[in-house]
Structure formats: C-alpha cells, structure tokens
Amino acid sequence: MKALTLKQPWTELVLQGKKKIELRKWNTHFRGKFLIHSSKTPDIKSMKRFGFETLPCGFILGMARLVDVKKYKNEKEFSLDKNKHLATSKWGKYGFILSGVKRVKPLEAKGSLNFWEFKK
C-alpha cells in the first residue's frame, strides 16, 4: 500500500482532524487510500508552535484518502485555506485534500520521499 511521510506535529494534526490539507511542493496524479507515516525527525519549531513536547516518530500511525489536489495560484487563495493546512506557503503550493482519516496501531517503518510503497 502507498504511504506518505509527514514530519511531526503535522502527522498528529492530520490524525486529530485539525489539518485537512497536506501541503507539498510537488503535484501527484495519485488518488486513493494511503498510509500516514511520521518521519524520524520532527519539525521542532512547529512542535513548539502547536504545544507538543513529544510525539511518535518513525511509525505508520494512520490511514487517509487523497481525494484531490488543489494548486494555489496566489497568496490570497492560499490564505483562504489557512485553517485547513495550518502552514505557510513555504511548504508548497499543492494542497493534498484528505478525507477518511483514521488512526491505526503504530507500526515501526522507515519512510521515504514522495509516495512510497509500504511492505510489511
């Protein structure tokens, strides 16, 4: 099954339903279910910003469906979705729109860039 690696706390914010759009600098034609993997290295600045001290890193922690990709054409358009992606445009102009997010039993895994194939 395909998987996507996110740094913490972004993984946790997706799993809590607070982050509904994952930002990327690249586009994808992929649509469908995928596993959510937390990178081994957290985003320390964002951990502090959102009030997290520690979160699990290096694990498959959830599952979601990528239903569409939104390309942000300008800063105004980007700002309208601020409450859905919770980030700045430095993270990218492609918004991966997620649905059906759910937690799964943590499973240790090594991540990779882009969508990657998880094999047990």
Query: What domains does the chain contain, in order, with CATH numbers?
Result: 2-105 (2.30.130.30)
pTM for the model: 0.94
> In which element (H, E) is residue 22 found?
strand 21-24
Give the strand pairing for 115-117 and 32-38.
unpaired
Query: Does the pLDDT of residue 120 top 80, yes or no?
Result: no
Mention every residue, 6+ apart, whose C-beta is less than 8 A from residue 99.
Answer: 64, 65, 67
N-to-C CA span, the chain: 10
Pair 35, 1: CB distance under 8 Å: yes
51 pLDDT above the threshold of 90: yes
Give residue-wise pLDDT tens across range 66-84. 999 999 999 999 999 999 9
**pLDDT recorded at residue 113:** 92
